[in-house]
Chain A
């Protein structure tokens, strides 16, 4: 039986890439923008390319934000936020003025910065994500494997224990966060070839 994955369509995102990658990894993707359909989910992916404000607005208008918060408080479904989808898990973002997020893992979304002129902003390209602890998400992925990043903001969790992996650039930032069944990755596993697909397969197996 292929693992079923509900992929949330938050309006502006790279849905198709995620859907295809889940299929390639042996999952059965179900794309929805209907809050009621979330109730049937076995596991959820929240993808996202876009600006924080536009995505939250769309999720609020469709009742997805409230529906998702309610569901995740009630059932410990495996949940994975990807890129902007991870950032939406925060309490708020400072992108284009303060915007409230889903507040799944308390923290703020703040601009990347660096004193090193070599660190161009946005952070675009391949970089390492070093796990800070054992986790099913990074199982079977060698330390130091590269993932594909494309972002200008980073997740600053209130509790550092929620940081699951770090990237040693721009000072240091959270490449992945986890609090129980709630997980998020700043990079794009669906575009990160072998390591990314391993991570998605790991998520499908949780």
Chain B
């Protein structure tokens, strides 16, 4: 019996509080992080993703005090990212209550960081966050700096390299599906999931529960993350799991 399939709400944090955008742009405020965490705690969600999306573009370190305050109320697993550049940042976030640390731009710019993190803290807590953009011709490209910078790199290649360097999990976000409610990029997820042995969390584009079923079944994702669907609609992680369970998925309800 394999591990349960996780449904993970994503909280995006900007300087002002929680936000959500469309295609990594047009950010809207969605409320207080602490309130959101308390609600998800009560509802016993599987795991939270908390990303400080302004840290890297603003060239600042993770806000440890902020994460500390939130983690003190978070009695569920929490993956924290944004602005992580070195092993001190990783250790600092784990120390204040993160269970795993997501690294995006810094890992791409210096893949050695993945190996250093895995050696010191174990591969299981190093999550590599990959933002992938599908161009109009269908070609895929890794984007860094919160989706603003092109790299010319294929996400499947980068995922394989990250795994070889010691990554424990991949958070794979489709930039062009993000916030559109049109469904995950199933082909992208499938290509990455087939190329690695570590778990792949599909993210970006979820508009209804059936999108989760699609990317789990056809995209071979190990878990699904979603933000807009939980922020802007009446849909909930618990109902998502009931929907998935009815379809035969192995979820925790």
Contact = CB atoms under 8 A, between A and B. Distances in A.
Interface residues of B, number: 39
B121 A49 contact: yes
B59 interface: no
Interface string A115-129: 010111111111110
Interface residues of A, number: 42
Interface of A: 12-17, 20-21, 24, 49-51, 54, 84, 95-96, 116, 118-128, 146, 148-152, 168-169, 188, 190-191, 193-194, 197
Contacts of A51: 118-122
Contact of B97 (A20, A116, A123, A124): A20
A118 B2 contact: yes
A194 B4 contact: no
A12 B91 contact: yes
A190 B75 contact: yes
A142 B123 CA distance: 31
Nearest to B3: A125
A96 B119 contact: yes
A91 to B, nearest CB: 19
Interface string B86-129: 00000100111111100000000000000000111111110000
A187 to B, nearest CB: 11
23 contacts: A12-B120, A13-B95, A14-B98, A16-B72, A50-B120, A51-B118, A84-B122, A96-B119, A120-B199, A124-B100, A124-B169, A124-B199, A125-B4, A125-B199, A128-B1, A150-B99, A150-B100, A150-B125, A151-B124, A152-B168, A169-B1, A188-B77, A191-B75
Contacts of A190: 75
B177 interface: no
A21 B95 CA distance: 14
Given A84-B122, A127-B4, A169-B2, A20 B72 contact: yes
Which 8 pairs from chain A and chain B are nearest by CB? A122-B124, A120-B199, A126-B4, A125-B3, A16-B97, A118-B2, A126-B252, A191-B77
- The B interface, classified by DSSP as helix, strand, loop or mixed, is loop
B222 interface: yes
Contacts of B4: 125-127, 146
B242 to A, nearest CB: 16
A118 B194 CA distance: 11
A192 B214 CA distance: 28
B240 interface: no
A191 B168 CA distance: 19
B94 A13 contact: yes
A100 to B, nearest CB: 18
Interface in B152-175: 168-169
A15 B95 CA distance: 6
B2 A121 contact: no
B197 interface: yes
A71 to B, nearest CB: 25
B3 A193 contact: no
A147 B222 CA distance: 17
Contacts of B99: 14, 17, 49, 150, 188, 191
Contacts of A193: 44, 75-76
Contacts of A125: 3-6, 46-47, 199, 222-223
- Count chain B CB atoms within 10 A of each CB in A16, A123, A149, A151 and give the residue with the most: A16
